Amino acid sequence: MTGAHRGIVRDALGIGIATGAYALSFGAISTTAGLSLLQTCALSVLMFTGASQFALVGVLGAGGSVWAGAATAGLLGSRNALYGLRLASLLEARRWKRPAASHFVIDETTAMAIARDSAPLSRYAFWATGFSVFAFWNLGTLIGALATHALPDPKVLGFDAAPPAAFLALLAPRIRAREPLAIAVASGVVALLLLPFLPAGVPLLAVALLAAVYGLSRRPS
Amino acid sequence: MWAGLLAASAVCYGLKLAGLSLPQRWLEDPRIQRTVPIIPIALLAALVGTQTFSTGRHLVLDARATALMVAVIAVLLRAPFLVVVGAAAATAALLRLV
């Protein structure tokens, strides 16, 4: 193992542990929203994309239907398709490797893979980060869900204030420029204006649609 | 419930697989490149707004608003994820105790 490989493993473990800590709050929020232990853990194994999972349980916790939550989760997962596009030429995953690699196409693995100098190191970083994040993400989810199951009334602990803070933390790195910040503020305001008139979860889909129309119609900058 | 969870998981997996499998030029369309990153921004911001300032279909102003302000400060200070979430939850819990 070269120094570059050792550095990648160290970073992958660090990112895994950080996402594991963040999975604790997913496990807790999901359980508070009413999902069972098995359902919560199944989401982390099968969906394995953080923002989508938080959105799904967030919509459920706010009284929306599972289908409104599922649609929101799917829309949030659309960015992973663009990550896959960037990774396709680096990974060169063929046959059985492609379906396996697909499951690991998330924010963290993409960031780690594209930051390398050569395609072999990119592949190494992708898989190392994928396995590390998958292991710690699922472990954190299980611990968070188990701990919350043991609590008498999670609302007393302010757990209803946790999801918006989680969404804000996910949003923050994406709105460092003026235009994304303006889009974020407008989206929040429009969702609140629509909220009294639409079933729970639907304002989110309306905002996503408006954002898509804006993106497709806007002139290239 | 399970059907919705499994369907959402399948859609999320399908999107990942599509990125690795679809002809590159489909996703290289500049309009797609500009639009796809906007959607998470719009959705996450809408989630922040609705889950802070509403209960059911009613707009409300309660402890969650103060908790969000604390979360904003934590984010501006570049606090780790768990600290941002923990600070917001603790703020709401404390306000309700008082």
Contact list in B for residue A106 (CB cut-off 8 A) is 16
A150, two tokens = 């043991």
Question: What residue ranges in B1-98 does DSSP mark as E strands?
Answer: 54-55, 58-59
Answer yes or no: do A213 and A161 share one domain. no
Size of interface A-B (CB pairs under 8 A): 307
Answer yes or no: do A65 and A132 share one domain. yes
Answer yes or no: do A194 and A157 share one domain. no
Domain-terminating residue out of A174, A190, A212: A174
Hey, of B54, B85, B98, which one would you mutate to test binding to chain A, going by the most A CBs within 10 A of its CB?
B85
Question: Cα A31 to the chain's mean position, in Å?
Answer: 17
A191 interfacial to chain B (CB closer than 8 Å) = yes
Residue B32 reports pLDDT greater than 90: no
pTM: 0.87
Q: Do B82 and A22 touch (CB under 8 A)?
A: yes
Answer yes or no: do A202 and A94 share one domain. no
A114 interfacial to chain B (CB closer than 8 Å) = no
The residue that leads in pLDDT, B6 or A218, is B6
Q: Do A185 and B45 touch (CB under 8 A)?
A: yes
Q: How far apart are CA A146 and CA A150, in angstroms?
A: 7
Q: Do A168 and B84 touch (CB under 8 A)?
A: yes
Q: Which residues contact A78 (CB under 8 A, 6 or more apart)?
A: B15, B36, B39, B40
Would you state the pLDDT for residue B28?
A: 77
Q: Provide the domain limits for residue A205.
A: 176-221
Answer yes or no: do A182 and A141 share one domain. no
Domain-terminating residue out of A151, A174, A197: A174
The residue that leads in pLDDT, B32 or A100, is A100
The residue that leads in pLDDT, A150 or B92, is B92
Backbone angles phi, psi at B58, to 5 degrees: -110, 135
CA distance A205 to chain B (A): 8
Average of per-residue pLDDT across B83-92: 93
Q: Using a pLDDT cut of 70, give the percent of chain B over it.
A: 100
Answer yes or no: do A96 and A123 share one domain. yes
- Find the helix or strand (DSSP H, E) in which B4 lies: helix B2-21
Would you state the pLDDT for residue B24?
A: 75
Answer yes or no: do A217 and A137 share one domain. no
Answer yes or no: do A12 and A63 share one domain. yes
Nearest residue on chain A to B57, alpha-carbon basis: A196
Average of per-residue pLDDT across B79-88: 90
A157 interfacial to chain B (CB closer than 8 Å) = yes
Contact in structure between A145 and A32 (CB atoms under 8 Å) = no
Answer yes or no: do A57 and A77 share one domain. yes
Contact in structure between B92 and A158 (CB atoms under 8 Å) = yes
Q: How far apart are CA B59 and CA B56, in angstroms?
A: 8
Answer yes or no: do A183 and A134 share one domain. no
How many distinct structural domains can be found in chain A?
A: 2
Answer yes or no: do A129 and A189 share one domain. no
Answer yes or no: do A127 and A205 share one domain. no
Per-residue model confidence as pLDDT tens for chain A (221 residues): 788 899 999 999 999 998 998 899 899 999 999 999 999 999 999 999 999 999 999 999 988 999 999 999 999 999 899 899 889 888 887 778 999 999 999 999 999 998 888 999 999 999 999 999 999 999 999 999 999 888 766 666 787 888 899 899 989 988 999 999 999 999 999 999 999 999 888 899 999 999 999 999 976 65
Q: Do A21 and B63 touch (CB under 8 A)?
A: no
Hey, of A171, A174, A194, which one would you mutate to test binding to chain B, going by the most B CBs within 10 A of its CB?
A171
Would you state the pLDDT for residue A47?
A: 98
Q: Do B9 and A39 touch (CB under 8 A)?
A: no
CA distance A63 to chain B (A): 6
Mean pLDDT of the residues in chain B:
92
Would you state the pLDDT for residue A199?
A: 85
